[in-house]
Structure 1
């Protein structure tokens, strides 16, 4: 993800440098209050957790208009896109977690083996404690509240740091959480680098960060000072391979939707597309047609096409476009004042071109020619592991090769973007694209500790077999047990 973020980026902004004293005082007070609340057992009861989740659901319904307007102001999101990718996604997460929470928290019975018999064992999921959620700007509601759902379900308290890069949504989120959730469970810190720096000086029991790898390293270093575990949801250049023989019309529609939703400002958006020269030639008119069908001949006038989040971000994405290679869109169809950048397709792109040097995170899709699946797999393997990878193929053998021969946070076959909307699949990265996962049960597991509990009666004392002295009989019995 890009460097427009609410966390420190430069070394001078790392924890311990330049935090505002007033912000630090308020944050310290919030941390202390939430620790007292957690230690008092406020969040332990499952019914209380479900009540907080229900309160969040009610708040989302009642504040729908305010939240939707904020998303439109920050990112140009229309009402339907906001319902699908932001508010609706969180509502679905709440419903799924609420339905299954009690069964997920039920202790898992385990055998302790012959040596400890008679004995019993189980694994219990216990809350971690006080958690910090640092949210991004690109899906400022979804990627703030979905981790919060997991934190609440796990029985934790949480401090939420929305992104100041999406200021209207940050304010709407702060209002939502302060109005509908118990301050003994959740508190909000708004602000920018100074506030995030002050937060990272505190000790938490888990830090959940969504953003770019540069800032992810800053967060990880700060967490290491307290040996705090982290979940890092980062990004990368998510590749697409289109195989020969697939339905190109359907493929194009799915890629276009996945790429240009939220104006390409999605951490799992298709970042570059690979296919053989013959397939690229056939696919290109379908991609053009899909853009026109979804956003009209002039996407600037489409109520369904958003805007880049800031002029700074606009300038960065615009600099990646080579107009000589743009066959749709390009810099000629850009308006900095409106933060508008048209859906752009680039052909004839080389692997060392600027557009391939970083995650695009905008409405620009480069098309690159490869010899076939062998080269596509090799190209993916030579780069950092992406947050997701996409393959469009009807051949089961090619699907399996991408599943086994490439490494990515997830793999989607025959679709783009849609797979991250389900709470039944874990979502997370690997390597440079992140660590840890959430959504549904995976989220609960991220925000809890799996604690083994072993029980054995004091009588009869069958453990005498392991006590010295080790007689011949004991040695023979041990040998039989461990063979």
Structure 2
């Protein structure tokens, strides 16, 4: 049998992970501060240029959505890591008199981080921040779809870390498959639900724990009580960010009949305001990552239109430059792929509903989404959407921004993911919470060992009566 090409790297980290797991909070912060300085200063321009080269990502979006979130995450860890690592005392039961109970946070060991192409910097180094904070060794596999950015990522990791602690591996699908053959202690994957299922299947062979940050169809509900100007601006921004190639983008809008015309009118105004000379001429609008994804989007749009859907705005595209205009579309057939599969692009279907109750039924008829957005001033509608649906995350009267709050757990549920990330929740994802009891005095349990006598039975009976 051919040896796995990554066995040597993996084994070097296996030899090292216990020592890394014993590192102090100060030692872990030194690594994170070096990463912070590299991203903020040394490699910032290189990353901007690489992302622009890969798919036209505007420099400001790189700063805002790729680099700043990692810096913010590191600052949050700096303020809290000492406290997070401290063993946490918990209460004990009557039968454990003379002992103390506590939770000890220990590293999981050797971890694999598989990151996607849409936010390759943030979704590679963001999980790495949590993994380092928790004291782990990591192998990173960035996406082959962003080659320029992946090269810079590898250069950064090579400059900052010993490969026996953190290393980047480049390659395509075969590389990921080979890595998944190794018995990692934890796997952190960001990507589609379809691939997430394969990751989970591979992890099951070694009983590796997983964090799966997936996607799905994240709906936005809008009713007539919402501020149409503000709502349309926020929805247009959330959908156009990275040309819609973001897991928490609003995937489709459920809009009440009374609000539809006003919302469509305001969305058009906002898109024209964002891109006065047209999105194709704008330096503020990204391109589709590759021609495969471009054709997927084009086919989905063409099929919907051929089946009776109406383009309300946009629809222009250019395969050679991978430009796809922000597009609003209505009257989409329910069975069209635009309403069945995650769009992951700048097409925004609008579905008319009578009220929040009908919106709830539609949302609950689909797999559980990563995010749910409610735009309304109606407390009853907001409560109905909040209480009667299930989603990984939610925003009320905004979208996407919850991703930036390090105090909130981020992650999906079922089809949209398993496990949470960011801040303390990211630290916990890469930690084993070891339950520990320390006995200081003779234990009451010592009185109840075999042989079981009548006296010992009376002791047990008395204890049971105590808890009635």
TM-score by length of 2: 0.95
Contact 1:163 1:192 in 2 (8 A): yes
SS of 2:374's equivalent in the other structure is strand
Q: Can you list the C-alpha shifts for 1:397-443, whole angstroms capped at 9, x where unaligned? A: 22222221100111111111111112111110111111001000000
1:411 aligns with 394
SS of 1:437's equivalent in the other structure is coil
Q: Can you list the C-alpha shifts for 1:308-365, whole angstroms capped at 9, x where unaligned? A: 00001000011111456111111xx211010000000002223222311211000000
Q: Provide structure 2 residue ranges, at least 5 long, that are not aligned to the other structure.
A: none
SS of 2:95's equivalent in the other structure is coil
- 1:351 and 2:351 equivalent? no
Match of 1:308 among 288, 302, 305: 288
Distance in 2 (alpha carbons) for counterparts of 1:338 and 1:206: 39
Q: Can you list the C-alpha shifts for 1:219-261, whole angstroms capped at 9, x where unaligned? A: 1111111111111111101001002211100000000000110
- 1:439 and 2:419 equivalent? no
Distance in 2 (alpha carbons) for counterparts of 1:381 and 1:462: 51
Q: Can you list the C-alpha shifts for 1:359-405, whole angstroms capped at 9, x where unaligned? A: 10000000011111000000000100011111001122222222211
2:276 aligns with 296
SS of 2:101's equivalent in the other structure is strand
2:7 aligns with 28
- 1:391 and 2:370 equivalent? no
Contact 1:140 1:162 in 2 (8 A): yes
Aligned residues: 459
SS of 2:89's equivalent in the other structure is strand
* 1:41 CA displacement: 4.2
* 1:461 CA displacement: 4.1
RMSD: 1.5
Distance in 1 (alpha carbons) for counterparts of 2:317 and 2:288: 11
1:6 aligns with none
* 1:470 CA displacement: 4.1
Pick which of 131-140 and 462-471 moved more: 462-471
Contact 1:43 1:156 in 2 (8 A): no
* 1:75 CA displacement: 2.0
Distance in 2 (alpha carbons) for counterparts of 1:229 and 1:476: 41
Match of 1:38 among 8, 17, 38: 17
Contact 2:289 2:322 in 1 (8 A): yes
Distance in 1 (alpha carbons) for counterparts of 2:199 and 2:464: 49
1:328 aligns with 313
2:120 aligns with 140
TM-score by length of 1: 0.92
Distance in 2 (alpha carbons) for counterparts of 1:105 and 1:395: 43
- 1:450 and 2:433 equivalent? yes
1:429 aligns with 412
Q: Can you list the C-alpha shifts for 1:137-177, whole angstroms capped at 9, x where unaligned? A: 00011111110000000000000000001111111100111
Q: Provide structure 1 residue ranges, at least 5 long, that are not aligned to the other structure.
A: 1-15
2:464 aligns with 479
Distance in 1 (alpha carbons) for counterparts of 2:399 and 2:80: 27
SS of 1:236's equivalent in the other structure is coil
Q: Can you list the C-alpha shifts for 1:195-230, whole angstroms capped at 9, x where unaligned? A: 111101101000011111111111111111111111
Distance in 2 (alpha carbons) for counterparts of 1:188 and 1:254: 36
Match of 1:360 among 335, 343, 350: 343
1:266 aligns with 246
* 1:447 CA displacement: 0.3
1:341 aligns with 324
Distance in 2 (alpha carbons) for counterparts of 1:184 and 1:470: 59
Distance in 2 (alpha carbons) for counterparts of 1:424 and 1:208: 20
Moved over 4 A (4+): none
Distance in 1 (alpha carbons) for counterparts of 2:25 and 2:164: 16
* 1:275 CA displacement: 1.1
- 1:93 and 2:77 equivalent? no
Contact 1:212 1:234 in 2 (8 A): yes
* 1:42 CA displacement: 6.2
Contact 1:75 1:262 in 2 (8 A): no
* 1:40 CA displacement: 3.5
